[in-house]
Amino acid sequence: MADVFSKEKRSQVMSRIRSRNTRPEILVRKYLFAHGFRYRLHDSKLPSKPDIVLPKYKTIVFIHGCFWHGHTCKYAQVPKSNTAFWVDKINRNKNISLINIEKLENLGWRVIIIWECELSKKRREKTLNDLELTIRIPLG
C-alpha cells in the first residue's frame, strides 16, 4: 500500500513530530504535579536526558511513543513504504533506550517506562495510578 501523502507532505508531517513536551508527556507531568510530586525535566546531567526525573524518589520516567520505540501494539505499525529504513530506525531507537536504561540503573535510578498506548482514555487512570504507587515504593 502506498503512502497517502506525497513525499513532500510526508516530510512536512514527520518534521512536526516533537521529541519533548508531547501530549502524553504533559499528561503524565500534570498528573504527577497534581499528586504532589516535584520533578525535573530532561536533566542533561543524566544519560539520555530523561523525560521526567524525580530526585526525591531516585526515579526516572520515560514516556515512549509506541511507533518510535517499537512497542507491540496497534500504534506501532511499520510503514509500508521505505520499510527497511523504518525497521532499522526503530531498532536503533530500541537499542539506544536499552543502553541508556542500563546506564541509569547502574547509577542507582529506578526507571519506569510508560507507553503512549497506556495513556489512552480507557487505560489512562489505571496507568497513572500504577505509576504513582510504583514511585512511592521505597527503593531498597
pLDDT value of residue 14: 54
Range in 20-24, 37-41, 106-110, 114-118 with the lowest mean pLDDT? 20-24
pLDDT digits (tens, 9 = 90+) for 54-97: 999 999 999 999 998 999 998 888 888 888 998 999 999 999 99
For the domain that residue 34 is a member of, what is the CATH number? 3.40.960.10
Residue span of the structural domain in which 130 resides: 18-136
Q: What is the pTM of this model?
A: 0.85
On whether residue 1 sits in a domain, the answer given is no
pLDDT of 25 above 60: yes
Domain annotation covers residue 2: no
| Higher-scoring residue by pLDDT: 137, 75 | 137
Let me know if residue 101 belongs to a domain: yes
Total number of domains constituting the chain = 1
β-strand partners of 113: 62
